[in-house]
Amino acid sequence: MTENLKTILYSNNLERLPGWSSVGDHIAKVIPAENRGGMDDLVASFGLRDCLDSRFSQLSLGQKNRANLTRYLLQDFDLLVLDESLANVDEATRESIILKMKELFPDKCFLYISHSVLEGSKFCDTILVLRPYQKMPQVIDIAGCNYRKGDDLNQTQLEQTMLEIVNVS
């Protein structure tokens, strides 16, 4: 699979956009011209329309994380590593963003790193739990529920998946 991954991007929740331009100007400058058409949809979906004219330093932590994620999603990538990229974003907005990402980028690969057992269980195909074990960490592979918009979520399966994750920790 890695031979097909030509462009890998990494996003984390401590990244900052430069402060000398507005959020909207910066995002428009750094994304490829052919991807600018998707900017309006992401900005609206991520609740950032009122932030575009603001400087990055004027945003809340959640707004900063959503602006960073928007910037990365509009790049050309094969794999996007999201390291707590939605930290400081409320649960309902996080869910909306994750579902929007799945809808808009069905052929892209995401590695979603989170401390939220519910998010991992609910939205991911495969969950890798890293567990310290003496000299070498153990990696435990658990099947996620991979909830998609409009699908019924089997509560029993979700609870079982969360229980498997918690029992590994």
Residue 9: which CATH number?
3.40.50.300
Percent of the chain with pLDDT over 90: 35
Mean pLDDT of 64-74: 93
> How far is Cα 36 from Cα 169, in angstroms, rounded to an integer?
42
pLDDT at 129: 79
φ, ψ of residue 80 in degrees (nearest 5): -115, 120
In terms of pLDDT, which residue wins out, 9 or 148?
Answer: 9
Say whether both 72 and 51 belong to one domain: yes
Say whether both 31 and 74 belong to one domain: yes
The pLDDT tens digits of the residues spanning 15-27 come to 777 777 899 998 9
Work out how many domains the chain is built from and give that number.
Answer: 2
pLDDT at 133: 67
Say whether both 92 and 140 belong to one domain: no
Say whether both 61 and 110 belong to one domain: yes
In terms of pLDDT, which residue wins out, 149 or 95?
Answer: 95
Say whether both 44 and 4 belong to one domain: yes
Say whether both 119 and 109 belong to one domain: no
156 pLDDT more than 90:
no
Contact 92, 141 (CB under 8 A): no
Say whether both 109 and 119 belong to one domain: no
pLDDT band at 54 (very low <50, low <70, confident <90, very high): very high
Say whether both 53 and 80 belong to one domain: yes
* Neighbour tally for 158: CB within 10 Å: 16
Q: Which residues contact 25 (CB under 8 A, 6 or more apart)?
A: none
Q: Which 3-state string (H, E, C) describes 120-138?
A: HHHHCCEEEEEECCCCCCE
Say whether both 123 and 109 belong to one domain: no
Element counts in the chain: helices (H) and strands (E):
6, 5
148 pLDDT more than 70:
no
State the residue range of the domain holding 85.
1-114
